[in-house]
A and B are shown apart, each in its own frame.
Chain A
Amino acid sequence: ELKVEQNPLFLSMQEGKNYTIYCNYSTTSDRLYWYRQDPGKSLESLFVLLSNGAVKQEGRLMASLDTKARLSTLHITAAVHDLSATYFCAVESGGYQKVTFGTGTKLQVIP
């Protein structure tokens, strides 16, 4: 059974600081997703990582994938308040297109 773990579960950081969210998973992956969820809202797709060594950046967020270590990271650079949200990683595995979600990381950026 695929297990996906994120850490930290909760992150409070000051504006302007850098931090990394980690996503570990237990089996081989077909692809890995990062999503953002604002309170009361659905999921917004941030990144889709398809292969080992993939790195994608959008604004202050950068995601990477190491399939050998079964690890993905979401790096936040110079955080701003608007980044406050819950971030989920999700792993698609087994060729069935269904994904397993991580526990989520609730990010709070303090002005």
Chain B
Amino acid sequence: SAVISQKPSRDICQRGTSLTIQCQVDSQVTMMFWYRQQPGQSLTLIATANQGSEATYESGFVIDKFPISRPNLTFSTLTVSNMSPEDSSIYLCSVVAGIVYNEQFFGPGTRLTVL
């Protein structure tokens, strides 16, 4: 399995500001994923982050709004830029890891509230 930590666990921010969320994994992984879960909703993939290359964004998400860094095989950041109340969500990072077979593990999430 993989142990994932995220910082911060929660934050309350003013509209127009930006927040950077950190994701740390206890083992080296090729791909890391960032998801958003809006209140009462399911999870939606924002982007896939590979080390050494630019992130791949899903439809509806753009780099200017959600810039991602992936400086090494155990760490990634997601920035939520120029925030509005609609960005209030839980943001989760995930990785694929495993010994017998690969499976997807999720971090504890960052609960963001934008006022």
Spell out A's residues near B (CB within 8 Å): 31, 33, 35, 40-43, 45, 48, 50, 88, 90, 92, 96-104
A42 touches B48 (CB 8 A): no
The B contact surface, by secondary structure, is strand
Chain B 84-101 interface 0/1 with A at a Cβ cutoff of 8 Å (1 = within): 000000001000100001
Closest to B43 in A: A101
A-B interface pairs (CB < 8 A), number: 46
| Other contacts beyond A98-B33, A99-B45, A101-B42: 17, CB < 8 A | A33-B104, A35-B106, A40-B111, A41-B109, A42-B92, A42-B108, A42-B109, A43-B92, A45-B105, A45-B106, A48-B103, A50-B101, A88-B43, A96-B48, A97-B96, A97-B104, A104-B41
B33 touches A33 (CB 8 A): no
Interface residues on B, range: 20 to 34
The A contact surface, by secondary structure, is strand
Spell out B's residues near A (CB within 8 Å): 31, 33, 41-45, 48, 92, 96, 101-109, 111
Closest to A30 in B: B102
A103 touches B106 (CB 8 A): no
B42 touches A104 (CB 8 A): yes
Closest to B98 in A: A48
Closest to B30 in A: A97
- Contact A102 B105, CB 8 Å, known A43-B92, A97-B31, A97-B96: no
Q: Which 6 A-B pairs have the closest CB atoms?
A: A43-B106, A101-B43, A101-B42, A42-B108, A42-B109, A48-B103
A103 touches B42 (CB 8 A): yes
Q: Which residues of B contact A90 (CB under 8 A)?
A: 43, 104
Q: List 14 A-B contacts (CB under 8 A).
A: A33-B103, A42-B108, A42-B109, A45-B104, A48-B101, A48-B103, A50-B101, A90-B104, A92-B104, A97-B102, A97-B104, A101-B43, A102-B42, A103-B42
